Chain A
Amino acid sequence: MTTNESPPVAGAAKSSLVERLDALYEYDREPVSEKKLHGWKTYIAMFAGEHVAGTELVLGPLMVMHGVSAKDFFLGLLVGNILAVLSWALLTAPIAVKKRLTIYWQLRRIIGPYLTIFYSAFYALILCLLAGAMVNVAVTAVSIPFHIPNPDFNAGDVLPTIPWMGLALVVGSVIAALAVLGFEKIAHFSKICAPWMVLVFFAAAIAVLADLGTKSFGDFWHIAETKIFTGVPIGNNSKYTFWHVAGFAWLCNAAQHLGMSDVTIFRYAKKWTQGFASAFGMFLGHYGAWISSGILCAAYLAAGNENPQPGTIALFGAGIAGAVSVVIAGWTTANPTLYRAGLAIQVATPNWKRWKVTFAAGALMIITACIPAVNANLDRIVGYYGLILAPLGAFVVADVWLLPRMGLISDFTGKSGKMMSWPSALAWGFTLIVSFFLIGKDSFGWLMRLLGDSLPEWLDNMKMDVMFLVGPAWLLAGIFYILFSLVQQKSKANVKLIMEGGLA
């Protein structure tokens, strides 16, 4: 998992929310110039570094706890990660290279300033949650030398112990303090850690394979099927299949690729084909590291331990180096994430000083870190965040590639000076209503009671999970957006405006 590049702060407080948001992103307003472009090496290093994060040690074990079979896990990850790479390479990177704008300015032109504010606010909240998950990961390792037990959500721990919360407060405060100072040096440090951290993840898994009964690499598949990815859920967890794994591997970065937020990164690429550099992040992090952390989790449980947490399983597989890698992985990813959350929140708090905003975001981060349910359901949280933000990427794709081919105008909202694109608002709203209805009819108690037996059989039989829905929701949002744009641009008033050359 990762978050995209941050924009620098610029500009003082302005009178309106829209002006303040514009001022914050003013520095990135112009397309990137030719001389600032980067080649393959930069993108390979960036993806390989950013997708081997602390949360990988949460997601692999989650798959084990949900009883994925070995075949479903390996094939699902293969298919899901290939889809993710193709999404970056064929959707995100070509638009980034064509427009060379940040996601903020790209969206502002298409959906208008009002919806962009909503997008920024939601993204800030999500960033705080993700930073909290990363602090949680770091604390599971920091707690070890103090002999403070980690909370066990599966055993019913709703909250950690007071000493554990104290540690989260200390770790979170340090991260917030460093984020106030800026994150460039830490971002640099995290890139130095990357090659070592990848090897720690792999080494820890290889070392414990023998404990599981693997005598040679030839035995691996048999052990994987019978002792690691057994196909039987642990505790009260639901059963995951190939579709859950493939769906999750594809959508866990949906906001970045289908949702287009990584145009901010790829606008510096020399060629759109550099989108394929994402394969290094996916196959080292979301393939190799997830498999490794799954193996570690299974070996940890097989040794008679309970409550597999990132810190404890890394210590089990790699000793002190493993525990240190978890602290670093949590810290180096939480820090820039919190910094970016602070930037987004700053828009709504113009008179607050930078440190105050960052500490406010930090408070939310620490609270999140103290809720074990967040990391225990990290896959669902990431899924919902992808589902909510991915439709915006469909609008960008439709607006950049499809509308001109249909004789419609791109960036209509920006060119006509409107504050909000109603086609985007309706398409986004309808898509989310349809998606949440399909998920909720089988899982939201209030909706199930409301519907009773009134659904037709074909709809009742349609069992949708958030992990299956992001792709269809993205397509649906694109179709809605095109239809509504057609209605908007073919209306009498707008046809007249276009004919008279009234668009900027």
Chain B
Amino acid sequence: MKTILKIISLAGLLLTILPAIAVFKGFIEIENHYTLMAVGMVLWFGSAPFWMKGVSLEDDEK
């Protein structure tokens, strides 16, 4: 399950950065970039909180 969540998170990050490069290269319009980034945001926040551990100095290092 965690692996699937991590893959979804990765897809979210890729959808955040790759559309910008596509706009820069002239492959897509900026409006599509906005939409894809919003999808990337939903994927990231829909998956990362379930597997990503925050770092706290008060916790002992595992």
Of all chain A residues, the one with the shortest Cβ separation from B30 is: A207
Q: Is the CB of A187 within 8 A of B54?
A: yes
Q: Taking the complex as formed, is A206 at the interface, i.e. its CB lies under 8 A from any CB of chain B? A: yes
- Cβ of A429 within 8 Å of any chain B Cβ, yes or no, is no
Q: By the criterion CB–CB under 8 Å, are B34 and A320 in contact?
A: yes
Residues on the B chain within 8 Å of A184, using CB: 56
- Known A199-B13, A318-B34, A321-B41; contact A191-B26, beta-carbon cutoff 8 A: no
Q: Are A206 and B54 in contact (CB under 8 A)?
A: no
Q: CB distance A321 to B40 under 8 Å? A: yes
Give the residue of B23, B49, B52, B56 whose beta carbon is less than 8 angstroms from that of A210.
B23
A440 → chain B closest CB, angstroms? 40
- Which residues 182-239 of A sit at the B interface, judged by CB distance below 8 A? 184, 187-189, 191-192, 195-196, 199-200, 202-210, 214
- Check if B17 sits within 8 Å of A203, measured CB to CB: yes
Whether A206 lies near B34 (C-beta < 8 A) is: no
For B17, B33, B40, B57, the residue with the greatest tally of chain A CB atoms inside 10 Å of its CB is: B57
Most chain A CB inside 10 Å of its own CB: which residue of B26, B38, B60, B61:
B61
Of the residues B16, B30, B31, B60, contact of A196 by C-beta under 8 Å: B16
Q: Which chain A residues border B57 with CB–CB below 8 Å?
A: 5, 38, 42, 46, 265, 268
A196 near B41 with CB under 8 A, answer yes
Task: Determine whether the beta carbon of B34 is less than 8 Å from that of A204.
Answer: no
> Could you tell me the distance in whole angstroms from the C-beta of B26 to the nearest C-beta in chain A?
7
The reply to whether B54 and A321 contact each other, CB–CB distance below 8 Å, is: no
Known contacts: A192-B49, A203-B16, A319-B35. The answer to whether A36 contacts B60 by CB under 8 A is: yes
The SS class assigned to the A binding surface is helix
Pair A37/B61 contact, Cβ less than 8 Å = yes
Contacts of B31 in A (CB 8 A): 319
Q: How far apart sit A265 and B58, CA to CA, in the bound complex (Å)? A: 10
Chain A 427-455, CB-CB to B under 8 Å as 1, else 0, gives 00000000000000000000000000000
Name the residue on B nearest A35 (C-beta): B60
B13, B37, B38, B54: the one within 8 Å of A188 (CB): B54
A324 within 8 Å of B (CB atoms):
yes
Interface 0/1 of B43-62, CB less than 8 Å to A? 01100110010111100110
A39 within 8 A of B: yes
Least Cβ distance of A82 to chain B in Å? Answer: 25
Closest beta carbon of chain B to A367's beta carbon, Å:
31
Q: Are A318 and B49 in contact (CB under 8 A)?
A: no
**Of B24, B37, B55, B56, which contacts A209 at CB under 8 A?**
B24
Residues of B within 8 A of A46 (CB): 55, 57
B20 A206 Cβ-Cβ under 8 A: yes
Q: Which residues on B sit within 8 Å (CB–CB) of A37?
A: 61
Q: How many whole Å from B35's CB to the nearest CB in chain A? A: 7
Interface positions, chain A 306-352, Cβ under 8 Å from B, are 318-322, 324
Residue of chain B at shortest CB distance from A195: B13
Q: Are A321 and B17 in contact (CB under 8 A)?
A: no
Q: How far is the CA of A36 from the CA of B59 in the complex (A)?
A: 7
CB proximity of A274 to chain B, nearest CB, Å = 12
B61 touches A196 (CB 8 A): no
Beyond A187-B56, A191-B54, is A196–B37 a contact (Cβ under 8 Å)? no
Asked if B30 and A38 sit within 8 Å, CB to CB, the answer is: no
* B52 adjacent to A318 (CB under 8 Å): no
Answer whether residue A115 sits at the interface, using C-beta atoms and an 8 A cutoff: no
Inter-chain CA distance A453–B35, complex, in Å, is 62
B23 to chain A, nearest CB (A): 4
| B24 CB contact (under 8 Å) in A36, A191, A214 | A214
Chain A CB within 10 A, most for which of B21, B23, B26:
B23
B24 A207 Cβ-Cβ under 8 A = yes
CA distance in complex: A35, B61 (Å): 8
Does the CB pair B48–A200 fall under 8 Å? Answer: no
The smallest beta-carbon distance between A262 and chain B, in angstroms, is: 11
A sample of 25 inter-chain contacts (CB < 8 A) reads A35-B60, A36-B60, A37-B61, A38-B57, A45-B55, A46-B55, A49-B55, A184-B56, A188-B54, A188-B56, A191-B54, A192-B45, A195-B13, A199-B13, A199-B17, A200-B16, A206-B17, A207-B19, A207-B30, A207-B33, A210-B26, A265-B57, A268-B57, A318-B20, A320-B37
Q: Which residues of B are in contact with A by a Cβ distance under 8 Å?
A: 12-13, 16-17, 19-21, 23-24, 26, 30-31, 33-35, 37-38, 40-41, 44-45, 48-49, 52, 54-57, 60-61
Besides A199-B13, A320-B38, 14 new A-B residue pairs in contact (Cβ under 8 A), listed by A number: A45-B55, A195-B13, A196-B16, A199-B16, A202-B17, A206-B20, A209-B24, A268-B57, A318-B33, A318-B34, A318-B37, A319-B34, A321-B34, A324-B41
Which residues of A line the B interface, CB within 8 A?
5, 35-39, 41-42, 45-46, 49, 184, 187-189, 191-192, 195-196, 199-200, 202-210, 214, 265, 268, 318-322, 324
Top 5 A-B pairs, shortest CB-CB distance: A319-B34, A188-B54, A203-B20, A321-B37, A206-B20
